[in-house]
Structure 1
């Protein structure tokens, strides 16, 4: 079978797109904020708001999550998103920290 120039170019574009998408997915997973990060520890960040120490953080209220905080930069449907507190790190939408704000 003879490969045409057009077919070759289409294969190259498809492979390039797949590579770019896999790089983006890899980059996103490496930028997740860890609970052990010093900045995260300073504000009591938890990836799951149900694990917040309510004795240590009495301002926490059920239903507060990063996903509905005014500092969260993701969409309501995102599992992870940016936060103005943590620069390029992504926080869990179901997470929580003491800087929670509803402005």
Structure 2
């Protein structure tokens, strides 16, 4: 049985819409220009405290106001990086600001 034209168009449209959503979930590349400028690391323990003296071990992406997911999620979008990549829960960057509450 061959799918009819409507089913084909629906399936093709659904597949095309899914591709950008998948592409947007890649982790931030720590070597990207934005990540380097912000001092972003996937692990807050690896932050160079000589370069970023305001860093404290208790600071991480999941307790920052720019974190856009639940605090328990492993990865999230971040306002500093837009919707192109995700930051790690235990990550950190120089734009860190304590989340309200």
**TM-score, normalised on structure 2?**
0.72
- Unaligned 5+ runs, structure 2: 1-10
> Which residue among 5, 15, 31 is the counterpart of 2:26?
31
- Give the match for residue 97 of structure 1: 93
- The structure with the greater share of residues assigned to helix is 1
Contact 2:25 2:86 in 1 (8 A): no
- Unaligned 5+ runs, structure 1: 1-15
Cα distance change on mapping 1:83 and 1:30 into 2, 3 Å: closer
**TM-score, normalised on structure 1?**
0.71
- The structure with the greater share of residues assigned to strand is 2
Give the CA RMSD over aligned residues: 2.3
- Aligned positions, number: 83
The alpha carbon displacement at 1:30 in A equals 5.0
